[in-house]
Structure 1
Amino acid sequence: MWGKLLGTAFGFLFGKWLGAILGFYLGHLFDKSLKQDFDKVGGFQGFLNGDGLSERQALFFSSCFSVMGHIAKSNGRVSEVHIRAATAFMDEMALAGDDRREAQHAFRAGKEADFSIKEAVREVREAFARRYDLLQLFLEIQIQMAFSDGHVSEQEQALLREVSKHLGISQAQFGFLLKRYQAEFRFRQQRAQWQSQQSQQRHNQQRQQRSSACEPEHNAISRSEALAVLGLSDGASDKDIKRAYRKLMSQHHPDKLVSQGLPEHMMEIAKRKSQSIQSAYELLKQKRPS
């Protein structure tokens, strides 16, 4: 109600009847969806500028790879591990042709001595000011790059804290995200190891189909690891688990993130995170404490 009234009044003030019609519609978006749908179209700027979404997607894409390059060189030189991680990241996104060359160019730009991580990250924050989930994903991607060799060095952690600060994410939340990704990394390793073992067992027992041949996944992976993927400790209740699961799935929903400015190439990243969250939750439902 108030959105329509105020939108119509201000629209008429600045654009007469055409402005009043536009203001009424924008006010309707506020009233109907409590600002959520309005943010999805990019606010006033996105509504008036049809290219706003594609511009934000291009900024997210290039900034993501340039900051990744800067973090990869935080120890003085880019290691082969980081190069393979960046290449795997591009492969996961199925980047080819001009898109892949653009990503490689941005990654190299981030390694230059005159690269300003402060300016690059603040530009992202300004473009996605009302899209906290997307800013958080940006940080999670940088954590993933830093953790590509299995650990985060002091130099990398210092840069990640700087990225967090310029994104407007608290240090407490940064610590939470770092621990959660470490748990996610171990969880994926355990699942991959379990799947490899089961594949080998099936290969060795092709002529002996027995139900006991394969150990259930929920016995092979600890409950503590699954809880950590959801950002929870061992004392978490079923209610805590369900609440954390729903929140994380909402934060990493690919379609929602794309509507906010995530490049479509990067949907696979959000899908992969959602799959880890889903797998951890399914395991916890099966493996309840006695």
Structure 2
Amino acid sequence: MSWWGKLAGGAFGFMMGGPLGALLGVALGHQFDRGVSSVRSGLEEQFEPGAQERVQMVFFTAAFSVMGHLAKADGRVSEDEIRLARQVMERMGLGGEQRRLAMELFNEGKQPGFDLDAVLDQFRQECRRRVNLIRMFVEIQLAAALADGEMHPAERRILLHICERLGFPRFAFEQLERMARAGTRYDHQAAPGSRGRSLEDAYAILGVEAGATDAEVKKAYRRLMSQHHPDKLVSRGLPEEMMKVATEKTQEIKAAYEQVKAARGM
């Protein structure tokens, strides 16, 4: 059974503890007060720290609560930002109950007392040595910040702080930011009636310069595909409900690589 199935069935209880456990408890209190069985049942079922299902629960809880905090970076949360958050959740393919829980966590992240550092510290501890999982977490926050096509300076400051707290190098974040911005343009360029995807953005998505050798392009492509392989990420703790994001990312990487290959005659 997935972490979501266990959670909905009451098997997880509040064994997670810490700030993330408190956030999830509050969010579940809102969601489960409509007659669903209490999540406090099944406290006797224990999971080893770092177990896949536990990490999936940690990732889901941290991802949406931090997203809510990020949305309030400029001091307020507008209707547009809430709409964009819902679009991100829709893009992930979250079902009705999952989306309601995600919105509750998003709302908790907006609260004045939200302890970002405590949440990030627990997330880092639970996801230790799962570098690609932390990278995907940062990518999801970047996607949320860029959902409207631009990034507020306050959002970028918080993203940089998130990276620092998670031990994610600044140069790696800046490369992800360039790739994410190019990916946003690349998606828009594929829309009907557009002039087509630019080769410049295709290179940026792969994280290489136009002057890179064929071997360097191929190496970058293989590395990115390995980092975003949906099954690998799920095995390391990405919630299955978020696999759609990883799948879309691999499709974007493949499209960019095919365009570069065609341009080079590889």
TM-score by length of 1: 0.72
2:219 pairs with 1:251: no
Q: Give 1 or 2 for the bigger CA radius of gyration.
A: 1
> 2:207 — aligned with what?
231
Unmatched 5+ residue regions in structure 2? 1-46
2:177 pairs with 1:178: yes
Name the SS for the 2:147 alignment partner.
helix
2:193 pairs with 1:197: yes
The CA distance in 2 between the partners of 1:247 and 1:168, in whole Å, is: 20
Distance 1:224 1:289, change over 3 A: farther
Higher RCO by CA contacts (8 Å cutoff, separation 6 or greater)? 2
Distance 1:113 1:251, change over 3 A: same
Which amino acid in the other structure matches residue 221 of structure 2?
A: Y
Higher fraction of helix: 1
Matches within 5 A, 1:103-182: 103-182=102-181
The CA distance in 2 between the partners of 1:278 and 1:220, in whole Å, is: 16
> 1:222 — aligned with what?
198
Asked whether the 8 Å contact 2:49–2:126 carries over to 1, the reply is no
The alignment yields a C-alpha RMSD, in angstroms, of 1.9
> 2:240 — aligned with what?
264
Unmatched 5+ residue regions in structure 1? 1-47, 199-218
Asked whether the 8 Å contact 1:82–1:145 carries over to 2, the reply is no
Which amino acid in the other structure matches residue 131 of structure 2?
A: Y
> 1:241 — aligned with what?
217
Asked whether the 8 Å contact 1:128–1:134 carries over to 2, the reply is yes
The CA distance in 2 between the partners of 1:50 and 1:110, in whole Å, is: 24
More divergent stretch after superposition (74-83 vs 89-98)? 89-98
TM-score by length of 2: 0.78
TM-fit CA distance, 1:143: 0.6
TM-fit CA distance, 1:80: 2.6
Asked whether the 8 Å contact 2:50–2:127 carries over to 1, the reply is no
The CA distance in 1 between the partners of 2:263 and 2:50, in whole Å, is: 48
Asked whether the 8 Å contact 2:66–2:106 carries over to 1, the reply is yes
> 2:65 — aligned with what?
66
Asked whether the 8 Å contact 1:183–1:229 carries over to 2, the reply is yes
Asked whether the 8 Å contact 2:73–2:154 carries over to 1, the reply is yes
TM-fit CA distance, 1:53: 1.6
TM-fit CA distance, 1:289: 7.3
> 1:275 — aligned with what?
251
TM-fit CA distance, 1:51: 8.8
